Amino acid sequence: MADFRKSTVYQVYPKSFYDSNGDGLGDLRGITEKLDYIRDLGADYIWITPFFVSPQNDNGYDVEDYYKIDPRYGTMEDFEELAREAGKRGIRLMLDMVFNHTSTRHEWFRKAMEGDEAYKDFYIFRKGKAPGVPPTNWESKFGGSAWEYVEQFDEYYLHLFDVTQADLNWDNPRVREELQKIVRFWMGKGVKGFRFDVVNLISKGAFEDDDQGDGRRFYTDGPHVHEYLKELNEATFGTDAEFITVGEMSSTTLENCYRYAGEDSHELSMVFSFHHLKVDFMGNEKWVIVPFDFQKLKDILYEWQTKMAEHRAWNAVFWCNHDQPRVVSRFGNVKKYWKESAKMLGTVVHCMRGTPYIYQGEELGMTNCGFTDISQYRDVESLNHFRILQDKGLSEENAYQILAIHSRDNSRTPMQWTGGRQAGFTEGEPWIQVSENHSFINAEDEERDEDSILSYYRKLVQLRKDYDVIAYGDFEPLDVRNPSVMAYKRTWEGQELLVICNFYGKETVWSSGQDLDAFCCILGNYEDQRTEKDRAALRPYECMVLYRKK
């Protein structure tokens, strides 16, 4: 049986992964054709973002039919072949379930709009406070009001995301039963994992104006969320000991995550939290340009590592996904120390307590896209904020600078398989432009280079399988206030692991307080390691993983 603590999950964004038929869109057959690549990386699970029928207003996170595969991605036969072929290679599939909301083109919502009261109760409709005034002042996470007026009912429906993504009413037991049926259907197809999108938003609290913010305190980690997740667990995946689940937790708290992912809580296997990926925001505002706060990054990671361990709860550890900019562009140095910083950042998360997730192309050191014109962008959030930023008085140039750093399209450009035409992603015209640096950042070249980022990631994935201290060990932060170095210690049954990472492009000397000569280096991003007694001389972005068995 797969142990999720020793496993690594590889995330595929199918639209941008590999196009098997030349239409410019990645597809399910494309994943099947690249299974050997994922196997050779060492991944145990593939998390596939939504490929269900969808109008694609939010790249598939607006689901029109949970039971059918969007023809642009292939057929049910293609999925079944993918599941079979993955199984032959010892890889399990994890599907992405978007259960906070559906597309407004979903059959349930269409029936609601026809006036069917039973289906109106599948969603959250409310009267306005006054003519032309929404029920509350809550804001959509994509900008503007979270309420959309429906003239025929003289009511508004709630959409925390795009206007075409209507929030489901989880307080209605019929909704929960329908969602359980969907989970059981895909379990029947051999799926062995689920990632639940923004699942901590499913239980809404009071529908009141928020005089302190955008409304999120009324719907985040809501009053019945733990009850509903336990119910889903017990009715579906909780019956299969081999299943893994991960919840995407938006603006959550540690205290709630102890329960979501507690060893004995019977909710989820693990959680995604994003606090560490807001250290280059200004408060909760992401559409700004500020340097990342290294001390805050360390404090957040250390707190989540230690507190989740104390409460016997489990983390997903990651830098990248389809909603985040590329980490090497964000916290690394893509100009002078691209390779060194990409390897160092991978080391940070892969040696932590938690299940590591690799987002397609991260293992190659893929960078932000470098787009310079709004016509190149596809992401609804980016397009909205390009307008919103200028409405707030920013120049077009400044708006472009902010998009270049924070747009979700940074992670959605096609996977860079080769240095040739369209990066080997498609024979046709890709749905979104390929990054120009594919000529020197691509899988084909890195396969041939023993010093490549890809080669290094394969070693990182194998370390977790080879060393129990990484999978099961305690976590202890070291030298917490060091301005340049992130360091921590893992211990387990007489094994000790030191992870030392220089986050900057200048040399520094790190004092460990213990005899480093007693350790051997099992991985590093420079050919040699300069340690002497209790000191390590670290070159730009240098990392080292030191091990000893007492």
Contact 26, 16 (CB under 8 A): yes
pLDDT of 81 above 90: yes
With contact defined as beta carbons under 8 Å apart, do 241 and 224 qualify?
A: no
Q: Are 386 and 373 in contact (CB under 8 A)?
A: no
- Per annotation, catalytic residue among 148, 248, 340, 409: 248
Using the 8-state DSSP alphabet, how is residue 433 labeled?
Answer: P
Alpha helix (H) ranges present in 139-207?
Answer: 173-187
CB 511 within 8 A of CB 535: yes
Decide: residue 139, CB within 10 A, 0-12 exposed, 13-18 middle, 19+ buried: middle
10 Å CB burial of residue 284 (0-12, 13-18, 19+) is: exposed
pLDDT, residue 239, reads 85
* Distance from C-alpha of 5 to C-alpha of 355, rounded to nearest angstrom: 6
Q: What is the pLDDT averaged over residues 249-266?
A: 95
**CA-to-CA dists, residue 118 to 153, 176, 309, angstroms:** 15, 14, 44
Query: Tokens 């007694």 belong to which residue?
Result: 533
For 283-309, the pLDDT digits (tens) are 878 999 899 999 999 999 999 999 999
Single out the residue of 464, 250, 466, 243 nearest to residue 353, CA to CA. 464
**How much is the average pLDDT of 177-193?**
97
Contact 155, 121 (CB under 8 A): no
Three-class SS of residue 155? strand
Among this protein's residues, is 197 annotated catalytic?
yes
pLDDT in tens, 365-409: 999 999 999 999 998 889 989 999 999 998 988 998 999 999 999
* Average pLDDT of the residues of the chain: 96
Q: How many helices (H) and strands (E) does the chain have?
A: 16, 23
**What are the b/e assignments for 87-110, b being 16+ CB within 10 Å?**
eeeebbbbbbbbbbbbbbbbebbe
**Catalytic residue status for 468:** no
Q: How confident is the model over 428-461, as pLDDT tens digits?
A: 999 999 999 999 999 999 999 999 999 999 999 9
Nearest to 241 by CA among 253, 233, 249: 233
CB proximity list for 348: less than 8 A, separation 6 or greater: 301, 486, 499, 501, 543
Q: For residue 2, name the pLDDT band (cuts at 50, 70, 90).
A: low
Does 550 score more than 90 pLDDT?
Answer: no
Cα-based torsion angle of the residue sequence 196, 49, 215, 307 in order, rounded to the nearest 10 degrees: 50
Confidence of residue 423 (pLDDT cuts 50, 70, 90): very high
pLDDT at 240: 87
pTM > 0.75: yes
Catalytic residue among 162, 197, 231, 362: 197
Distance CA 16, CA 75 (A): 18
Angstrom distance (rounded) from CA 233 to CA 237: 6
The predicted pLDDT at position 380 comes to 82
pLDDT for residue 1 is more than 60: no
Would you give the end-to-end CA distance of the chain in angstroms?
30
Q: Cα(101)–Cα(112) distance, rounded to whole angstroms?
A: 14
Q: Name 397's Cβ contacts closer than 8 Å, sequence gap at least 6.
A: none
Q: Which of 67, 162, 158, 147 is nearest to 107 (CA)?
A: 67
Q: Vertex 258, ends 253 and 260: CA angle to 5°?
A: 90
Q: To 10 degrees, the CA torsion angle through 120, 121, 123, 124?
A: 100
Encoded amino acid at 545, one letter = V
Q: What is the mean pLDDT of residues 318-325?
A: 96
335 CB neighbour count, 10 Å cutoff: 7
Interior CA angle at 393 toward 392 and 394, to 5°?
Answer: 105
